[in-house]
């Protein structure tokens, strides 16, 4: 088939039908290239077709329960089994399994970048920009309290913690390991 497309491109200027075929082939090539670029820009959505819809549902649960350990109905796990498996295989989530049972105790969101992906799909961009601005402007030696920031930006605490974790992983600060707190101190 590629030889046919090559001939059509060569003859395109000379024959009316061929020029239409060149335009069609150009559109097909353009769409294929666009799809490959989209996959590079958003590799999570391309893990499985259901990942974006599943992720929006997960984010609604994060928002309502203020937790990264979540439980859903058996129907939910059945409906999204392949998308969940794809997310788990990439380390974005961890299924809390038992022998012979999948997701017996729900799922845990492991990767802070996946939480940012959830926000990109389902959260207000201005809220996220405000949160990033606050964390980015954190002075060396200054503590940020996630609970106070939560009331300022109206975002779930797990989202704020995910941003703190990402900044810590870059070496810009560190997160308090004290249980029951969501604190971040700038160090760079």
Average of pLDDT values for 80-100? 91
Q: Is residue 81 over pLDDT 50?
A: yes
**pLDDT digits over 128-149, tens only?**
999 999 999 999 999 999 999 9
CATH topology of domain 125-186: Arc Repressor Mutant, subunit A (1.10.10)
**pLDDT digits over 102-132, tens only?**
888 899 999 999 999 999 999 999 999 999 9
What are the backbone dihedrals phi and psi of residue 27, each rounded to the nearest 5 degrees, phi first?
A: -65, -40
**pLDDT digits over 158-173, tens only?**
999 999 999 999 999 9
CA 94/CA 102 separation, integer angstroms = 11
DSSP track, 152-165: HHT--HHHHHHHHH
Average pLDDT over the chain reads 85
The CB density around residue 77, as the number of other CB atoms within 10 Å, is 18
Reading phi first (left if > 0) and then psi (alpha if -120 to 50, else beta), residue 174 is in beta
Look at the pTM and tell me if it is higher than 0.75.
yes
> 153: which 2 tokens?
């930006």
> 29: which 2 tokens?
């090539």
CA 122/CA 150 separation, integer angstroms = 17
CA 73/CA 81 separation, integer angstroms = 12
CA 173/CA 32 separation, integer angstroms = 42
Average of pLDDT values for 43-47? 82
**pLDDT digits over 10-43, tens only?**
555 555 555 555 555 555 555 555 455 444 456 7
Instruction: Indicate the pairing of strand 143-145 with strand 173-175.
Output: unpaired
**What letters, b where the CB count within 10 A reaches 16 and e where it falls short, cover 38-62?**
eeeeeebbbbbebbbebbebbbebb
For residue 160, which of 115, 110, 107, 120 has the smallest C-alpha distance?
115
Cα separations (Å) of 20 from 5, 12, 24, 61? 12, 8, 6, 50
């Amino acid at each position: 088939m590629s030889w046919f497309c090559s001939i059509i491109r060569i003859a395109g200027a000379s024959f009316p039908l061929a020029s239409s075929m060149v335009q069609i082939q150009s559109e097909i090539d353009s769409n294929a290239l666009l799809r490959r670029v989209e996959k590079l820009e958003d590799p999570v959505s391309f893990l499985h077709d259901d990942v974006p819809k599943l992720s929006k549902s997960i984010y609604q649960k994060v928002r309502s329960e203020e937790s990264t350990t979540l439980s859903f109905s058996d129907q939910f796990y059945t409906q999204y089994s392949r998308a969940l498996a794809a997310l788990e295989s990439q380390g974005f989530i961890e299924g809390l399994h038992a022998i012979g049972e999948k997701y017996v105790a729900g799922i845990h969101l492991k990767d802070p970048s996946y939480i940012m992906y959830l926000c990109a799909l389902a959260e207000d961009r201005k809220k996220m920009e405000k949160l990033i601005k606050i964390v980015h402007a954190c002075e060396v030696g200054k503590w940020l309290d996630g609970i106070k920031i939560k009331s300022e930006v109206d975002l779930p605490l797990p989202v704020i913690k995910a941003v703190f974790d990402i900044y810590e992983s870059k070496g810009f600060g560190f997160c308090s390991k004290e249980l029951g707190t969501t604190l971040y101190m700038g160090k760079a």
